[in-house]
Amino acid sequence: MEEKTTRPGPKRSLSAEQIVTTAMDLFDGETPSIRGVAARLGVRPNTLYTYLPDRAALERALVDRLLAEADPDLLLGRRSWRRRIEDYACSLRTVLLRRRGAAALFHSAPMDGPNAMLVGERLLALFTSAGLSPSDASRATYAVIVHVLGSATLTAADLDGHTEEEVVAARQAVQIDPELLPLTAAAWSTTATWNTETQFRWSLHALLDGCAAR
Amino acid sequence: MEEKTTRPGPKRSLSAEQIVTTAMDLFDGETPSIRGVAARLGVRPNTLYTYLPDRAALERALVDRLLAEADPDLLLGRRSWRRRIEDYACSLRTVLLRRRGAAALFHSAPMDGPNAMLVGERLLALFTSAGLSPSDASRATYAVIVHVLGSATLTAADLDGHTEEEVVAARQAVQIDPELLPLTAAAWSTTATWNTETQFRWSLHALLDGCAAR
DNA sequence: ACCTGAACACCGTTCAAGT
DNA sequence: ACCTGAACACCGTTCAAGT
């Protein structure tokens, strides 16, 4: 009677949770594949279909895990509403950059899991406390989500396993013809740092300024 | 002597341009595949490797075509700098939503083609005209790019072939428990419209406000 | 110089069969 | 109830061979 973990079923050697956990350890530049996860678990690919309807279900579960890994509690506490949003946003960015291929998941899987809803609720609370109407708070919430995911995805693609320093150095080395693209050439030292946390914070800051002004 | 199209080579039945053009017509929810493009051209998959080094090259070419299709000339003219940015941004969003699977391309392929550079230069000019320093103009440019691509990608995933109206109606129908998520429940009528052009314009507007305040 | 046949190492998914 | 063997319909890519 003590070994009933979730349901009576006794023969079950796996679980959906275990599959998702295994998949979380398999990020390496690609989204974990059904066959890859099965191989890691020492099982045939089609075995996973006992626990998951399809690959999309795995992806949705991974999305929710990643949101939790960034620690939604960073949205609580007594720091300013802006600080709390920035802290969670940076944490999520870090999580998505550490697990290569994680950012891309958010663009094929809907964010409707429990952690997504929790993060949404807390962002709404923060924007409401900043004086926004419920409707504007909702719009601001999505604006922040778009920024974090869009930025993390582009940066993940650009890093592609290299460090931030390497990528910035490589971009700095590019020569822009000042005849053809004068402004691009003039601003290139900044443009070379587009995929850094500094840029991420700058644009998030600008976005929050614009939202707060509503 | 009149049939030399680009180079002397006489036997060549294809060209990289033709391959990319064929791929442009093949968007349907997935990124066009090497094998799919080859089949459409009535040729074996490996034939394409005569013209393209790999799939990544095809994707980079498609990204630049899509940027051009949105019409970078919308960034010119005598409308206000904000209007011009919003017009091009909305146009690019429309292009990316019309060609299903197009938005996802931007997250695997670098934006370093001629049209990407042109769009960048023009955005820099607009932000400079708004009073930003070269460095801030560069940061604002990337913030806008992140917003447009992030937003278009999330919306493309959410639409998945359905119309905006259908998706909004489906989200409106979702019931949120006001005990568990009071703010989410209260703001749900707005949250249901996250993937609309109205939301897109709202958050772009907020972002531009924040950038202009620098 | 260009195109192909054949192969390699992958995918997600289905379905009938075994235990 | 769970797992598997075998198969299906796909991928991108390589390489030796044909023209």
Using an 8 Å CB-CB cutoff, list chain B residues near A96.
none
Tell me the shortest Cα–Cα distance from B12 to chain A, in angstroms.
33
Helices B34-41/B55-69 angle, 10° precision: 80
pLDDT tens sequence across B84-106: 999 999 999 999 999 988 999 99
The span from the CA of A211 to the CA of B115, in Å, is 31
Scan residues 155-194 of A and list those with Cβ closer than 8 Å to B.
Answer: 156-158, 181-184, 186-187, 189-191, 194
Percentage, residues of chain B above pLDDT 90: 85
pLDDT band at B11 (very low <50, low <70, confident <90, very high): low
**Residue B45 confidence (pLDDT) above 80:** yes
The span from the CA of B90 to the CA of A193, in Å, is 26
Q: Is the dihedral of CA A206, A207, A211, A212 positive or negative?
A: negative
**Residue B8 confidence (pLDDT) above 70:** no
What distance lies between CA B36 and its chain's CA centroid?
22
Residue A40 shares a structural domain with residue A123: no
Is A78 within 7 A of strand D by CB distance? no
Low-confidence ranges of chain A (pLDDT < 70): 1-12
pLDDT band at B108 (very low <50, low <70, confident <90, very high): confident
Is A6 within a domain? no
Residue B46 shares a structural domain with residue B80: no
Reported residue count of chain A is: 214
CATH for B25: 1.10.10
Q: Return the pLDDT at B136.
A: 98
- Identify, with chain letter, the residue nearest to nucleotide C3 (CA–C1'): B47
Tokens found for residue A97: 């950059």
pLDDT tens sequence across A85-141: 999 999 999 999 999 889 999 988 889 999 999 999 999 999 999 999 999 999 999
Q: Is the dihedral of CA A82, A85, B109, B145 positive or negative?
A: negative
Tell me the shortest Cα–Cα distance from A124 to chain B, in angstroms.
6
pTM of the model: 0.92
Is A63 within a domain? no
The span from the CA of A76 to the CA of A84, in Å, is 7
Average pLDDT, integer, range B64-72? 96
Q: Return the pLDDT at A128.
A: 98
Is A64 within a domain? no
Residue A89 shares a structural domain with residue A33: no
CATH for A153: 1.10.357.10
Residue A45 shares a structural domain with residue A109: no
Residue B41 shares a structural domain with residue B86: no
